[in-house]
Amino acid sequence: GQQLNQSPQSMFIQEGEDVSMNCTSSSIFNTWLWYKQDPGEGPVLLIALYKAGELTSNGRLTAQFGITRKDSFLNISASIPSDVGIYFCAGPDDRGSTLGRLYFGRGTQLTVWP
């Protein structure tokens, strides 16, 4: 299957700091998705990106679809305690998009200290 390399694996930051995480794939993606998983809950979609170079915001979150179509970035500005959770990148590869097969990164565990 596809390899999605997500980094960093974990982050410990102070409230108010900005956060950046990224994801790279071994092949071209047509879509990049960013999910957040709170403890004991299912992943919730944060941002969907559909075009190379696209930059999309959702409140304090901003994500970009890399020009090469093999990477994506998620930034969180002015972090707050409720940003705590695991952030996953995901996407279907060029062959999988019609089958609904999503590949997930291994997640970035974010901890925010007050």
Residue closer to another protein, measured from CB, 41 or 59: 41
Structure tokens belonging to residue 52: 């190379």
Shortest CB 100 distance to another protein, Å: 5
Going by the DSSP 8-state scheme, the letter that residue 93 receives in this structure is B
CB 43 to another protein: min, Å: 5
Contacts of 64 (CB under 8 A, 6+ apart): 49, 53, 54, 55, 56, 72, 73
- Six-digit token pair at 89? 């990148």
The CB-of-13 to another protein minimum distance in angstroms stands at 19
Considering the complex, state which of residue 77 and residue 109 has its C-beta at the smaller distance from another protein.
109
Q: In this complex, which beta carbon is closest to another protein, that of residue 45 or of residue 80?
A: 45
Q: What residues line the site for another protein (CB under 8 A)?
A: 30-31, 33, 35, 37, 40-45, 48, 86, 88, 90-92, 97-102, 104, 106-107, 109
Closest CA to 23 of 15, 38, 35, 39: 35
